[in-house]
Protein backbone atom coordinates (compact mmCIF):
# COMPACT_ATOMS: atom_id res chain seq x y z
CA UNK A 1 0.00 0.00 0.00
CA UNK A 2 1.43 3.38 -0.94
CA UNK A 3 1.03 6.17 1.58
CA UNK A 4 -1.33 8.90 0.53
CA UNK A 5 -2.64 12.27 1.66
CA UNK A 6 -5.28 14.74 0.53
CA UNK A 7 -4.85 18.49 0.16
CA UNK A 8 -8.04 20.54 -0.18
CA UNK A 9 -7.34 23.96 -1.66
CA UNK A 10 -9.46 27.08 -1.58
CA UNK A 11 -8.81 30.71 -2.47
CA UNK A 12 -7.82 32.20 0.87
CA UNK A 13 -8.41 35.29 2.98
CA UNK A 14 -6.31 37.99 4.64
CA UNK A 15 -4.73 37.14 8.03
CA UNK A 16 -7.04 39.67 9.66
CA UNK A 17 -9.59 42.24 8.50
CA UNK A 18 -7.12 45.06 9.18
CA UNK A 19 -6.19 47.23 6.23
CA UNK A 20 -2.48 46.27 6.24
CA UNK A 21 -3.26 42.53 6.10
CA UNK A 22 -5.91 43.05 3.44
CA UNK A 23 -3.36 45.03 1.36
CA UNK A 24 -0.79 42.22 1.60
CA UNK A 25 -3.42 39.64 0.62
CA UNK A 26 -4.73 41.66 -2.33
CA UNK A 27 -1.17 42.20 -3.53
CA UNK A 28 -0.38 38.48 -3.55
CA UNK A 29 -3.76 37.65 -5.13
CA UNK A 30 -3.78 40.28 -7.86
CA UNK A 31 -0.09 39.89 -8.79
CA UNK A 32 -0.91 36.30 -9.79
CA UNK A 33 -0.61 36.22 -13.61
CA UNK A 34 -3.53 33.75 -13.77
CA UNK A 35 -5.78 36.33 -12.08
CA UNK A 36 -4.64 39.60 -13.63
CA UNK A 37 -3.43 38.10 -16.90
CA UNK A 38 -1.61 41.14 -18.31
CA UNK A 39 2.08 41.68 -19.13
CA UNK A 40 4.06 41.83 -15.85
CA UNK A 41 4.85 45.57 -16.03
CA UNK A 42 1.20 46.47 -16.71
CA UNK A 43 -0.07 44.17 -13.94
CA UNK A 44 2.42 45.79 -11.52
CA UNK A 45 1.28 49.27 -12.57
CA UNK A 46 -2.45 48.46 -12.26
CA UNK A 47 -2.13 46.66 -8.93
CA UNK A 48 0.24 49.16 -7.31
CA UNK A 49 -1.10 52.40 -8.77
CA UNK A 50 -4.82 51.73 -9.26
CA UNK A 51 -5.90 48.99 -6.84
CA UNK A 52 -3.68 49.13 -3.76
CA UNK A 53 -4.05 52.85 -2.99
CA UNK A 54 -7.81 52.57 -2.31
CA UNK A 55 -9.15 48.99 -2.41
CA UNK A 56 -7.60 47.65 0.84
CA UNK A 57 -9.48 50.20 2.97
CA UNK A 58 -12.80 49.44 1.28
CA UNK A 59 -12.23 45.64 1.36
CA UNK A 60 -11.06 45.78 5.01
CA UNK A 61 -14.37 47.39 5.99
CA UNK A 62 -16.22 44.66 4.12
CA UNK A 63 -14.15 41.94 5.83
CA UNK A 64 -14.75 43.53 9.24
CA UNK A 65 -18.50 43.25 8.68
CA UNK A 66 -18.39 39.44 8.21
CA UNK A 67 -15.33 38.38 10.25
CA UNK A 68 -15.97 35.68 12.86
CA UNK A 69 -14.37 35.49 16.34
CA UNK A 70 -12.26 32.55 15.11
CA UNK A 71 -11.27 34.10 11.77
CA UNK A 72 -12.35 34.49 8.18
CA UNK A 73 -15.55 32.51 7.44
CA UNK A 74 -13.91 30.96 4.34
CA UNK A 75 -10.93 29.67 6.32
CA UNK A 76 -12.95 28.58 9.38
CA UNK A 77 -15.48 26.72 7.22
CA UNK A 78 -12.72 25.01 5.21
CA UNK A 79 -11.05 23.98 8.48
CA UNK A 80 -14.36 22.52 9.74
CA UNK A 81 -14.83 20.58 6.50
CA UNK A 82 -11.27 19.26 6.76
CA UNK A 83 -11.82 18.18 10.39
CA UNK A 84 -14.96 16.26 9.44
CA UNK A 85 -13.25 14.57 6.48
CA UNK A 86 -10.28 13.61 8.66
CA UNK A 87 -12.67 11.50 10.75
CA UNK A 88 -14.03 9.71 7.65
CA UNK A 89 -10.98 9.13 5.46
CA UNK A 90 -8.10 6.79 6.29
CA UNK A 91 -5.26 9.04 5.10
CA UNK A 92 -4.27 12.54 6.34
CA UNK A 93 -6.50 15.34 5.03
CA UNK A 94 -5.06 18.87 5.09
CA UNK A 95 -6.25 22.13 3.64
CA UNK A 96 -4.36 25.02 2.11
CA UNK A 97 -5.15 28.39 0.63
CA UNK A 98 -3.84 29.65 -2.71
CA UNK A 99 -3.35 33.11 -1.17
CA UNK A 100 -2.57 33.84 2.46
CA UNK A 101 -2.39 31.13 5.13
CA UNK A 102 -2.13 28.17 5.39
CA UNK A 103 -0.05 28.48 2.21
CA UNK A 104 0.04 25.65 -0.32
CA UNK A 105 3.85 25.56 -0.19
CA UNK A 106 3.89 25.04 3.59
CA UNK A 107 1.24 22.32 3.52
CA UNK A 108 2.74 20.39 0.59
CA UNK A 109 6.18 20.48 2.25
CA UNK A 110 4.76 19.38 5.59
CA UNK A 111 2.97 16.42 3.99
CA UNK A 112 6.02 15.51 1.87
CA UNK A 113 8.15 15.39 5.05
CA UNK A 114 5.85 12.75 6.53
CA UNK A 115 7.04 10.45 3.73
CA UNK A 116 3.81 10.22 1.72
CA UNK A 117 4.21 9.03 -1.86
CA UNK A 118 0.97 10.26 -3.39
CA UNK A 119 -0.98 13.47 -2.89
CA UNK A 120 -4.49 14.19 -4.14
CA UNK A 121 -4.98 17.88 -4.81
CA UNK A 122 -8.65 18.85 -4.49
CA UNK A 123 -9.32 22.42 -5.65
CA UNK A 124 -12.57 23.34 -3.91
CA UNK A 125 -14.10 24.86 -7.02
CA UNK A 126 -16.97 23.20 -8.90
CA UNK A 127 -16.15 25.08 -12.13
CA UNK A 128 -12.89 25.48 -14.04
CA UNK A 129 -11.21 28.88 -14.35
CA UNK A 130 -7.58 29.80 -14.80
CA UNK A 131 -7.93 32.19 -11.86
CA UNK A 132 -8.93 29.30 -9.58
CA UNK A 133 -8.12 25.74 -10.66
CA UNK A 134 -5.24 26.44 -13.04
CA UNK A 135 -3.40 28.69 -10.61
CA UNK A 136 -3.59 25.93 -7.92
CA UNK A 137 -2.13 23.42 -10.37
CA UNK A 138 0.67 25.79 -11.34
CA UNK A 139 1.44 26.61 -7.71
CA UNK A 140 1.68 22.88 -6.87
CA UNK A 141 4.00 22.40 -9.86
CA UNK A 142 6.16 25.34 -8.71
CA UNK A 143 6.47 23.94 -5.18
CA UNK A 144 7.36 20.43 -6.42
CA UNK A 145 10.08 21.83 -8.72
CA UNK A 146 11.48 24.29 -6.16
CA UNK A 147 11.92 21.61 -3.48
CA UNK A 148 12.77 18.74 -5.85
CA UNK A 149 9.90 16.67 -4.48
CA UNK A 150 9.34 13.31 -6.11
CA UNK A 151 5.78 13.13 -4.86
CA UNK A 152 3.13 11.78 -7.23
CA UNK A 153 0.44 14.48 -7.31
CA UNK A 154 -3.00 13.75 -8.72
CA UNK A 155 -5.72 16.27 -9.47
CA UNK A 156 -9.36 15.95 -8.53
CA UNK A 157 -11.40 17.22 -11.50
CA UNK A 158 -14.04 19.96 -11.40
CA UNK A 159 -17.43 18.64 -10.37
CA UNK A 160 -19.96 21.19 -11.74
CA UNK A 161 -22.22 18.45 -13.18
CA UNK A 162 -21.48 15.56 -10.83
CA UNK A 163 -24.68 13.92 -9.70
CA UNK A 164 -23.61 13.76 -6.05
CA UNK A 165 -22.59 17.43 -6.01
CA UNK A 166 -25.95 18.41 -7.51
CA UNK A 167 -27.73 16.25 -4.91
CA UNK A 168 -25.82 17.97 -2.10
CA UNK A 169 -26.85 21.36 -3.52
CA UNK A 170 -30.43 20.12 -3.76
CA UNK A 171 -30.40 19.15 -0.08
CA UNK A 172 -29.28 22.60 1.09
CA UNK A 173 -31.63 24.43 -1.30
CA UNK A 174 -34.81 22.40 -0.76
CA UNK A 175 -35.83 23.89 2.61
CA UNK A 176 -35.65 27.36 1.03
CA UNK A 177 -37.78 26.63 -2.03
CA UNK A 178 -40.38 24.86 0.10
CA UNK A 179 -41.31 28.26 1.54
CA UNK A 180 -43.01 30.84 -0.70
CA UNK A 181 -40.59 32.71 -2.99
CA UNK A 182 -40.85 34.60 -6.28
CA UNK A 183 -37.52 33.94 -7.98
CA UNK A 184 -34.25 32.02 -7.50
CA UNK A 185 -31.16 33.89 -8.69
CA UNK A 186 -27.96 31.93 -9.32
CA UNK A 187 -25.17 34.43 -8.64
CA UNK A 188 -21.80 33.07 -9.77
CA UNK A 189 -18.44 34.77 -9.32
CA UNK A 190 -17.72 36.62 -12.58
CA UNK A 191 -14.69 36.53 -14.87
CA UNK A 192 -13.32 38.83 -17.55
CA UNK A 193 -14.64 37.53 -20.91
CA UNK A 194 -11.00 37.46 -22.05
CA UNK A 195 -10.32 34.57 -19.62
CA UNK A 196 -12.88 32.40 -21.40
CA UNK A 197 -11.28 33.03 -24.79
CA UNK A 198 -7.78 32.38 -23.41
CA UNK A 199 -8.76 29.02 -21.95
CA UNK A 200 -10.65 27.84 -25.05
CA UNK A 201 -8.62 24.86 -26.35
CA UNK A 202 -10.08 25.35 -29.86
CA UNK A 203 -9.01 29.00 -29.82
CA UNK A 204 -12.22 30.20 -31.49
CA UNK A 205 -15.39 28.67 -30.01
CA UNK A 206 -16.05 30.41 -26.67
CA UNK A 207 -18.24 33.53 -26.96
CA UNK A 208 -18.38 33.10 -30.76
CA UNK A 209 -22.20 33.20 -30.62
CA UNK A 210 -24.76 34.08 -27.93
CA UNK A 211 -25.77 30.47 -27.28
CA UNK A 212 -22.27 28.90 -27.52
CA UNK A 213 -22.57 27.53 -23.98
CA UNK A 214 -25.89 25.80 -24.72
CA UNK A 215 -24.45 23.60 -27.53
CA UNK A 216 -22.35 20.62 -26.40
CA UNK A 217 -18.71 21.29 -27.33
CA UNK A 218 -15.20 20.13 -26.36
CA UNK A 219 -14.37 23.75 -25.40
CA UNK A 220 -16.65 23.33 -22.38
CA UNK A 221 -14.00 21.26 -20.61
CA UNK A 222 -12.49 24.60 -19.63
CA UNK A 223 -15.45 26.94 -20.21
CA UNK A 224 -16.46 28.46 -16.89
CA UNK A 225 -19.66 29.92 -18.36
CA UNK A 226 -20.86 26.63 -19.90
CA UNK A 227 -20.09 24.86 -16.62
CA UNK A 228 -21.99 27.30 -14.39
CA UNK A 229 -25.03 27.15 -16.69
CA UNK A 230 -24.88 23.35 -16.50
CA UNK A 231 -24.95 23.45 -12.68
CA UNK A 232 -28.01 25.75 -12.78
CA UNK A 233 -29.77 23.52 -15.33
CA UNK A 234 -29.15 20.30 -13.40
CA UNK A 235 -30.11 21.75 -10.03
CA UNK A 236 -33.30 23.43 -11.25
CA UNK A 237 -34.31 20.20 -13.03
CA UNK A 238 -33.86 18.32 -9.75
CA UNK A 239 -35.80 20.94 -7.84
CA UNK A 240 -38.55 20.90 -10.46
CA UNK A 241 -38.33 24.64 -11.15
CA UNK A 242 -39.66 26.15 -14.37
CA UNK A 243 -37.45 28.34 -16.57
CA UNK A 244 -39.22 31.54 -15.55
CA UNK A 245 -38.62 30.80 -11.85
CA UNK A 246 -34.84 31.25 -11.98
CA UNK A 247 -32.03 33.12 -13.73
CA UNK A 248 -28.23 33.34 -13.77
CA UNK A 249 -26.02 36.38 -13.14
CA UNK A 250 -22.36 37.11 -12.33
CA UNK A 251 -21.01 39.03 -9.34
CA UNK A 252 -17.77 40.56 -8.00
CA UNK A 253 -16.63 42.38 -11.15
CA UNK A 254 -13.32 44.20 -10.71
CA UNK A 255 -11.82 46.79 -13.07
CA UNK A 256 -13.01 48.14 -16.39
CA UNK A 257 -12.83 45.07 -18.65
CA UNK A 258 -16.00 43.42 -19.88
CA UNK A 259 -16.86 40.58 -17.50
CA UNK A 260 -19.47 37.88 -17.96
CA UNK A 261 -22.98 39.32 -18.03
CA UNK A 262 -25.59 39.91 -16.74
CA UNK A 263 -24.05 41.51 -13.66
CA UNK A 264 -25.71 40.51 -10.38
CA UNK A 265 -25.79 44.13 -9.16
CA UNK A 266 -27.92 45.11 -12.18
CA UNK A 267 -30.04 41.96 -12.16
CA UNK A 268 -31.06 42.52 -8.52
CA UNK A 269 -32.50 45.93 -9.39
CA UNK A 270 -34.13 44.61 -12.56
CA UNK A 271 -35.83 41.76 -10.68
CA UNK A 272 -37.18 44.15 -8.03
CA UNK A 273 -38.45 46.48 -10.76
CA UNK A 274 -40.16 43.52 -12.48
CA UNK A 275 -42.13 42.94 -9.29
CA UNK A 276 -40.13 40.17 -7.61
CA UNK A 277 -40.68 40.63 -3.87
CA UNK A 278 -39.22 37.51 -2.23
CA UNK A 279 -35.88 36.66 -3.80
CA UNK A 280 -33.70 33.63 -3.10
CA UNK A 281 -30.04 33.84 -4.09
CA UNK A 282 -27.74 30.83 -4.40
CA UNK A 283 -24.00 31.13 -5.09
CA UNK A 284 -22.74 27.73 -6.28
CA UNK A 285 -19.31 28.88 -7.48
CA UNK A 286 -18.33 28.97 -3.81
CA UNK A 287 -18.37 25.78 -1.76
CA UNK A 288 -17.87 27.77 1.44
CA UNK A 289 -19.46 31.03 2.50
CA UNK A 290 -17.08 33.94 2.21
CA UNK A 291 -16.87 37.67 1.71
CA UNK A 292 -18.53 37.38 -1.70
CA UNK A 293 -21.63 35.60 -0.38
CA UNK A 294 -22.02 37.02 3.12
CA UNK A 295 -21.18 40.65 2.39
CA UNK A 296 -21.59 41.23 -1.34
CA UNK A 297 -24.90 39.38 -1.64
CA UNK A 298 -26.14 39.03 1.94
CA UNK A 299 -25.54 42.69 2.84
CA UNK A 300 -24.89 44.93 -0.19
CA UNK A 301 -27.08 42.93 -2.57
CA UNK A 302 -29.93 42.77 -0.08
CA UNK A 303 -29.81 46.53 0.45
CA UNK A 304 -29.84 47.24 -3.31
CA UNK A 305 -32.73 44.81 -3.90
CA UNK A 306 -34.86 46.28 -1.13
CA UNK A 307 -34.08 49.84 -2.19
CA UNK A 308 -35.29 48.95 -5.70
CA UNK A 309 -38.64 47.71 -4.36
CA UNK A 310 -37.97 44.11 -3.30
CA UNK A 311 -39.14 42.87 0.12
CA UNK A 312 -36.70 40.14 1.12
CA UNK A 313 -33.47 38.62 -0.17
CA UNK A 314 -32.61 35.25 1.33
CA UNK A 315 -29.15 33.82 0.78
CA UNK A 316 -29.03 30.03 0.42
CA UNK A 317 -25.92 28.92 2.37
CA UNK A 318 -23.00 27.31 0.56
CA UNK A 319 -22.29 23.61 1.09
CA UNK A 320 -19.81 24.50 3.87
CA UNK A 321 -19.46 21.51 6.22
CA UNK A 322 -22.94 20.16 5.54
CA UNK A 323 -23.23 16.43 6.33
CA UNK A 324 -24.36 15.40 2.83
CA UNK A 325 -21.45 17.31 1.24
CA UNK A 326 -18.99 15.69 3.67
CA UNK A 327 -20.46 12.33 2.60
CA UNK A 328 -19.97 13.15 -1.09
CA UNK A 329 -16.35 14.23 -0.61
CA UNK A 330 -15.71 11.16 1.54
CA UNK A 331 -16.94 8.97 -1.33
CA UNK A 332 -14.67 10.74 -3.82
CA UNK A 333 -11.64 10.47 -1.55
CA UNK A 334 -12.24 6.81 -0.70
CA UNK A 335 -12.52 5.74 -4.36
CA UNK A 336 -9.43 4.47 -6.15
CA UNK A 337 -7.33 7.45 -7.23
CA UNK A 338 -6.09 5.76 -10.42
CA UNK A 339 -8.47 7.70 -12.65
CA UNK A 340 -7.48 11.10 -11.24
CA UNK A 341 -4.88 12.55 -13.66
CA UNK A 342 -1.26 12.89 -12.55
CA UNK A 343 0.06 16.44 -12.61
CA UNK A 344 3.29 15.49 -14.38
CA UNK A 345 1.34 13.76 -17.16
CA UNK A 346 -1.11 16.60 -17.83
Ligand X SMILES: C=CC1=C(C)c2cc3[nH]c(cc4nc(cc5[nH]c(cc1n2)c(C)c5CCC(=O)O)C(CCC(=O)O)=C4C)c(C)c3C=C
The alpha carbons of the chain give a radius of gyration, in whole angstroms, of 20
Whether residue 224 contacts residue 191, with contact meaning beta carbons closer than 8 Å, is answered with yes
Give the one entry of Fe ion, ligand X, none that residue 137 binds, where binding means its C-beta sits below a cut-off of 5 to 8 angstroms depending on kind: none
Q: Per rule CB under 5 A, is residue 213 in the interface with Fe ion?
A: yes
Quickly count: other Cβ atoms within 10 Å of residue 309's Cβ: 14
Give the one entry of Fe ion, ligand X, none that residue 212 binds, where binding means its C-beta sits below a cut-off of 5 to 8 angstroms depending on kind: Fe ion
Give the one entry of Fe ion, ligand X, none that residue 7 binds, where binding means its C-beta sits below a cut-off of 5 to 8 angstroms depending on kind: none
Cα–Cα distances (Å) from 75 to 66, 71, 95, 202, 285, in that order, read: 12, 7, 9, 36, 16
Q: What are phi and psi of 93, to 5 degrees?
A: -120, 120
For residue 72, the minimal CB distance to ligand X (Å) is 5
d(Cα 67, Cα 291) in Å, to the nearest integer? 9
252, 264, 265, 320: which one contacts ligand X (CB under 6 A)? 252
Q: Where does residue 299 rank: exposed (0-12), middle (13-18), buried (19+ CB within 10 A)?
A: middle
For residue 342, the minimal CB distance to Fe ion (Å) is 27
Q: Per rule CB under 6 A, is residue 222 in the interface with ligand X?
A: no
Q: Which of residues 46-85 bind ligand X (CB under 6 A)?
A: 55, 59, 72, 74
Q: By CB under 6 A, which span of 137-145, 167-175, 215-223, 286-294 interacts with ligand X?
A: 286-294
Q: What is the x/- site pattern for ligand X, positions 13-32, by CB under 6 A? A: x------------x------
d(Cα 60, Cα 290) in Å, to the nearest integer? 14
Give CA torsion, residues 111, 116, 118, 119, to 10 deg.
-10
Cα–Cα distances (Å) from 234 to 93, 161, 231, in that order, read: 30, 7, 5
Q: Rounded to 5 degrees, what angle do the CA atoms 232, 12, 279 make?
A: 35
Residues flagged as binding site for Fe(2+)? 189, 292
For residue 35, the minimal CB distance to Fe ion (Å) is 8
Q: Which of residues 113-132 bind ligand X (CB under 6 A)?
A: 125, 129, 131-132
For residue 267, the minimal CB distance to ligand X (Å) is 18
Q: Which residues bind ligand X (CB under 6 A)?
A: 11, 13, 26, 35, 55, 59, 72, 74, 125, 129, 131-132, 189, 191-192, 252, 254, 285-286, 290-292
Amino acid sequence: MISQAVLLVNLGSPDSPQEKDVRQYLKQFLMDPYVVDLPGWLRWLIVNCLVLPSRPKQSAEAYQSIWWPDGSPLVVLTQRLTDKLTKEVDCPVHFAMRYGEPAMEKEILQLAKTGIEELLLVPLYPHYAMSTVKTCIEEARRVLAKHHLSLKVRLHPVFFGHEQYISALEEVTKPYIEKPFDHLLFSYHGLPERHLRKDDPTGSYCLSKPDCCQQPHQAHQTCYRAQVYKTAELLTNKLGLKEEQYSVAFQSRLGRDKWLTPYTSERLVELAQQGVKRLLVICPSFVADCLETLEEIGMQGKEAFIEAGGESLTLVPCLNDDAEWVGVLTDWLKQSWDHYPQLDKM
